[in-house]
């Protein structure tokens, strides 16, 4: 008896281990059926799944010699032992099928098989039955017992886990394909829309600029409004195109030696008026003895930094403070933009660089924007082989930091950003 228990445990452990190593569902479940027949000393075994649409059971896995005969067979929930185990969500032993009306004899006819006794147990996922596991004809006319029930319930649980894992994996692969297709469609839409809008927008800007020189002061405000909003549309289109080009590999860098210190100074000068309008103090902090020279596309670095500064000013309250810092960090130049504004909720922090992502709808209505500036900054810095990240405390402010390699795209990756929660 002790040897039987040892053998039983070893066989079950083997099936459990195979669950983690299995790459093919059918092969694994066939091994589970084989183990069920072996450990319960039965002639054969089968596994059925529930068809929710038809509200009956069908054979998912059977021994190969019954596969063709039972490929299209259906087992009703009422009038079958398997259906009883499914509906009652508990095991069922039938010692003599001839004297039990729950035996569905039609399957014997289809498979040219004689069932004498059976043990059925439900397959359960998240407390809900999804199928039935059965073994048939215990050897030497013996009766199925409590130990057999434990074995079948254990194997049924492993089979259910394997089926569930397979379904989840297939669903994940399907979702990945869907996401890839949606991303492709989004990129195509952005590329086509940007291309089609550039020409009419260029005409609007050109003609309105020309008209501004001709019209009198009476209509100057209206023309300036047209130019200002057309310029905003142009900025949006360029931002869309920039991110799309970097993501699809269509962007190129025109690198040369540039002074990041000068880029920081220019960014501060460019946004001085915006800061003044909101009564925000805008300062820079760069070591006086360092020019912060790097081999980079200065225009793209300027756009990235400008978007960070604009973001800081946008989400800072009147009377707030914004500081642009620059310095060396190993083989990288470190630039950060700090503010004492409204901050970013922890749940949104990891997503702020996603294209079109906006933090909280009420903030969007208050501050506007399409959620493109930070994604553009990220694309441009990463295209240089650098890193960019955000740190923030809601209600206390944010700090956006990027590391830019001083010698173009480096062999080594930029240091990972610190944890910020």
**What CATH number is given to the structural domain containing 159?**
3.30.450.40
Residues in the chain where the model's pLDDT stays below 50: 1-3, 361-365, 419-421
Residue 263 domain flag: yes
- Check whether residue 142 and residue 284 sit in a common domain: no
Among 91, 46, 87, residue whose Cα is nearest residue 69: 46
Query: Are residue 127 and residue 75 in the same domain, yes or no?
Result: yes
SS3 57: strand
Strand partners, 128: 125
**Does 296 lie in the same domain as 218?**
no
Helix, strand, or coil (residue 197): helix
Residues in contact with 182: Cβ distance below 8 Å, sequence separation at least 6, in sequence order? none
In a domain, residue 410? The reply is no
Residue 237's pLDDT is: 72
Q: Which one of 248, 281, 303 terminates a domain?
A: 248
- Number of structural domains the chain divides into: 3
Among 297, 387, 378, which Cα is nearest to 334's? 387
Q: HSE on the CB side for 287, CA within 13 Å?
A: 11
Estimate the share of the chain in helix, then strand, then coil, as percent rounded to the nearest 5.
50, 20, 25
Distance CA 171, CA 166 (A): 9
Distance CA 211, CA 219 (A): 10
Cα 104 from Cα 70, distance rounded (Å): 13
Measured between alpha carbons, how far apart are the two ends of the chain, in Å?
A: 58
Same structural domain, 240 and 274: no
Residues contacting residue 398 through CB under 8 Å, at least 6 positions apart: 312, 315, 338, 339, 341, 343, 344, 390, 391, 392
Q: Which two tokens stand for residue 53?
A: 């649409």
350-to-77, 157, 307, 347, 354 alpha-carbon distances in Å: 49, 38, 18, 7, 9
Structure confidence at residue 21 (pLDDT): 61
Q: Could you tell me where the DSSP H helices lie in 285-372?
A: 298-314, 346-349, 361-367
Q: Copy the structure tokens of residue 146.
A: 């409590």
Strands 281-285 and 321-329: parallel
Q: Are residues 217 and 326 in the same domain?
A: no
In whole angstroms, give the CA distance from residue 290 to residue 292. Answer: 5
Amino acid 149: pLDDT: 94
Any domain includes 77: yes
CB-based contact 49:58 (threshold 8 Å): yes
Residue 20: what pLDDT? 60
What is the rounded CA–CA span in Å between residue 406 and residue 119? 72
Same domain, residue pair 77 and 132:
yes
Whether 50 is in a domain gets the answer: yes
Q: d(Cα 341, Cα 69) in Å, to the nearest integer?
A: 72
- How far apart are alpha carbons 16 and 38 in whole angstroms? 16
Residues near 23 by Cβ (< 8 Å), separated by ≥ 6? none
Q: Are residues 341 and 241 in the same domain?
A: no
Angstrom distance (rounded) from CA 362 to CA 342? 13
Domain that holds residue 167: 2-173
156: left (phi over 0), alpha (psi -120 to 50) or beta: alpha
- In-domain check, residue 420: no
Strands 42-51 and 118-125 turn out to be unpaired
Q: Does the reported pTM lie above 0.85?
A: no
Candidates 352, 355, 312; CA nearest to 336 is 312
CA distance 34 to 416: 50
Written as six digits, the tokens of 322 are 């914004």
* C-alpha to C-alpha distance for 12 and 17, rounded to whole angstroms: 9
Do 73 and 92 belong to one domain? yes
Element (H, E) at 137: strand 128-138
**The pair of three-digit structure tokens given for residue 57, joined into one six-digit string:** 């059971």
């Amino acid at each position: 008896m002790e040897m039987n228990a040892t053998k039983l445990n070893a066989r079950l452990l083997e099936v459990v281990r195979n669950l983690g190593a299995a790459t093919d569902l059918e092969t694994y479940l066939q091994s589970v059926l084989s183990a069920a027949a072996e450990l319960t000393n039965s002639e054969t075994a089968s596994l059925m799944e529930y068809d929710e649409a038809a509200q009956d059971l069908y054979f998912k896995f059977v021994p190969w010699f019954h596969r063709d005969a039972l490929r299209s067979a259906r087992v009703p929930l009422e009038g079958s032992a398997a259906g009883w185990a499914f509906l009652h969500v508990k095991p069922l032993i039938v010692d003599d099928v001839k004297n039990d009306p729950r035996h569905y004899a039609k399957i014997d006819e289809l498979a040219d098989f004689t069932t004498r006794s059976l043990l059925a147990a439900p397959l359960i996922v998240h407390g809900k039955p999804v199928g039935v596991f059965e073994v048939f004809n215990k050897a030497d006319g013996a009766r199925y017992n409590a130990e057999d029930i434990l074995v079948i319930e254990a194997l049924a649980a492993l089979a259910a886990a394997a089926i569930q894992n397979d379904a989840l994996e297939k669903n994940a692969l399907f979702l990945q394909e869907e996401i890839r297709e949606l991303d492709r469609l989004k990129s195509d839409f952005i590329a086509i829309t940007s291309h089609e809008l550039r020409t009419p927008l260029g005409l609007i800007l050109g003609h309105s600029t020309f008209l501004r020189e001709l019209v009198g002061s009476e209509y100057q405000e209206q023309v300036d409004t047209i130019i200002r909003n057309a310029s905003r549309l142009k900025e949006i289109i360029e931002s869309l195109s920039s991110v799309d080009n970097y993501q699809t590999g269509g962007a190129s860098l025109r690198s040369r030696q540039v002074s990041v210190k000068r880029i920081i100074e220019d960014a501060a000068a460019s946004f001085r008026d915006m800061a003044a309008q909101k009564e925000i103090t805008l300062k820079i902090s760069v070591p006086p003895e360092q020019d912060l020279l790097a081999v980079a596309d200065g225009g793209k670095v300027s756009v990235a930094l400008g978007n960070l500064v604009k973001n800081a000013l946008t989400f800072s309250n009147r009377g707030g403070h914004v500081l642009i810092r620059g310095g060396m960090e190993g083989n990288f130049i470190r630039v950060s933009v700090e503010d004492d504004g409204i901050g970013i909720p922890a749940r949104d922090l990891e997503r702020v660089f996603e294209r079109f992502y906006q933090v909280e709808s009420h903030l969007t209505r208050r501050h506007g924007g399409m959620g493109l500036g930070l994604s553009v900054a990220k694309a441009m810095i990463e295209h240089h082989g650098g890193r960019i990240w955000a740190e923030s405390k809601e209600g206390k402010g944010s700090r956006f930091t990027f590391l830019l390699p001083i010698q173009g795209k480096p062999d080594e990756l930029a240091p990972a950003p610190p944890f910020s929660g």
